[in-house]
Amino acid sequence: MNNKRRDLLRQLAARISGIPSVTPLSLGPTVIEATDSNQAATATLQNASNKTLVVVQLMGGNDGLNTVVPYGQPAYLQNRPTIGLTADEILPIDGDVGLNSQMTGMMDLYNSNRVAIIQGVSYPNPNLSHFEATAIWESGSPELPFTNGWLGRYMDVANQLEQPATALSLGQLVPQTLLGVTSQPIALNTVNAFQIRPLTKSDTTSTAYIQQLNETACSACGEYNALVNQMMQSGLDAISASAVVRAAASSYKPQVTYPTDDFSQRLQLAAGIIVSSLNPKIVYVTLGGFDTHGDERPTQDPLLKQLSDGVNALYNDLSAQGRANDTLIMTFSEFGRRVVENGSKGTDHGTALPQFMIGGSVSPGLYGTYPSLTDLDASGNLLWNIDFRQTYATVLESWFGIQQNEVLDSTYETLSVI
């Protein structure tokens, strides 16, 4: 990381923590200058320009052991006498592991050679706090505090190399993952709400006046003008992006029927945006509810079904639209859960868990080794064998075609997943 980047990170840190920074946040590449390594990566990146990453964040800490089930290890059912999945509740991958039987959609994709499962992912000294573990995964570094996100930093680089580079966050709040030093994603909750509402049926001027409001300079607004300027910038971005996103959504015809839940409907919107001329680098979707301290099965099983059916629909839709090879879907969650169930038919915060990578360009199969359920760390948690930054490095280098050290704090061995 160069000094300029570090200065900028400091500025962003100030912004996130609420201190007005002097420079208004801009979508454009106004601050970072291209470095030699940026330029070296340009050629690769241009070839990668149609590539889209769909990130699915499973919020709350997904129990990996009931997702990709190590049913070949006797310790699995011994540790989970009430919430363990029995043979008839597992879709076998091989003699050792299988998917939760709610995940038929994912299993179909696995059987079609479209899924890679990276097993035992975590990092040294895993953090068991939701807040900090989430910040670690989203920032891409266990050394706290790191106040922007790994994909935000990627977008900073992409904005240097190729214009325009767009990231979309489908939800109410922007995840840290997508906050860059100079880049911010377009965020929207629903397409319907993402437009200036007319005051009357014949109102044709509100959009223009609100735009003008945001273009009107503030010559005397004093110390807080960084906040004023950031709001004006967000407003202008919102007005511009609204038209493009709504056009994309209205012209798109899904080729499959998506499930009706909110998560799948967001994936359908994601597909519409991916196939549009907006050609986003990243689309980010979240699925919440995985913090299953109690009554895990009735909570997690339906969530895994949502995940699996939604991703199946998205893949098949993109495939029918000729975009399956250009799209990589990746899941993550802040941590897995403990091996042993607790007294309330649930599991407490744990460590390593599997990540899914789905797409037409994925080299399918199992990666890494499944952690042992008997050889545990001092707290009785799973030992990891793949660092999450290896997954990130793989996405950066093999998918986006940039050097990982543009974004990550060190160099990690990539996986042959893509």
Partner 1 sequence: MDRRAFLKLSAATAAAAGVTAYGTSLMRLASASTNAGLPLASTDLSAPMPAQVQIPHLLRRAGFGGGPQEQAHYQAMGFDEAVQYVLNYEQIDNSALDAITPNIRTSYSGSVPAGQNEGNNLATWWLNRMVATPRPLEEKMTLFWHNHFATAISKVQNGYLMYQQNKFLRANALGNFHDILTGMTWDGAMLIWLDGVENIESNPNQNYAREVMEVFSTGRGPYTQNDVIEGANAFTGFSINSSGQGVWNPARHYDKPGTFLGQTAAFMPQDIIDILVARPETATNLSTELFQFFGYPNPSPATIQRIAAVYFDSGYDMKSVVEAILTSPEFVSNQAYMANVKSPTEYLVAGLRAFGATAQASALINSSNNQGQLLFDPPNVFGWPIGMLWINTGSIMERYNFPVNVQTTTENSSSQLNENNLFGAGSSISQGVQTVSNALYPDGIPTEVLSVIQSATATYTDPTLMTKDALRMTMASPYYNLN
Beta carbons of 115 and 109 less than 8 angstroms apart: yes
Helix (H) or strand (E) holding 10: helix 3-16
Closest alpha carbon to 262 in 292, 285, 239, 233: 285
| Shortest CB 46 distance to partner 1, Å | 16
Angle among Cα 194, 195, 199 to the nearest 5 degrees reads: 135
Select 140 or 175, whichever has its Cβ closest to partner 1. Answer: 175
| Shortest CB 74 distance to partner 1, Å | 20
Select 251 or 374, whichever has its Cβ closest to partner 1. Answer: 251
| Shortest CB 176 distance to partner 1, Å | 9
Cα–Cα distance for residue pair 175/21, rounded to 1 Å: 20
Select 280 or 364, whichever has its Cβ closest to partner 1. Answer: 280
DSSP 3-state assignment of 32? coil
Cα–Cα distance for residue pair 5/31, rounded to 1 Å: 9
CA dihedral sign, ordered 219, 220, 221, 225: positive
| Shortest CB 162 distance to partner 1, Å | 11
| Shortest CB 295 distance to partner 1, Å | 8
- Could you tell me how far CA 329 lies from the centroid of its own chain? 9
Unique residue bearing structure tokens 């009554």: 295
Select 158 or 311, whichever has its Cβ closest to partner 1. Answer: 158
Q: How many CB atoms are located within 10 Å of the residue 272 CB?
A: 21
The structure tokens listed for 304 are 């895994």
| Shortest CB 410 distance to partner 1, Å | 24
Q: At what angle do helices 104-111 and 296-320 cross, to 10 degrees?
A: 40
| Shortest CB 255 distance to partner 1, Å | 20
185: preceding bond cis by omega (within 30 degrees): no
| Shortest CB 187 distance to partner 1, Å | 4
Select 74 or 164, whichever has its Cβ closest to partner 1. Answer: 164
Select 85 or 245, whichever has its Cβ closest to partner 1. Answer: 245
Closest alpha carbon to 418 in 350, 342, 365, 353: 365
Select 55 or 116, whichever has its Cβ closest to partner 1. Answer: 55
Select 43 or 243, whichever has its Cβ closest to partner 1. Answer: 243
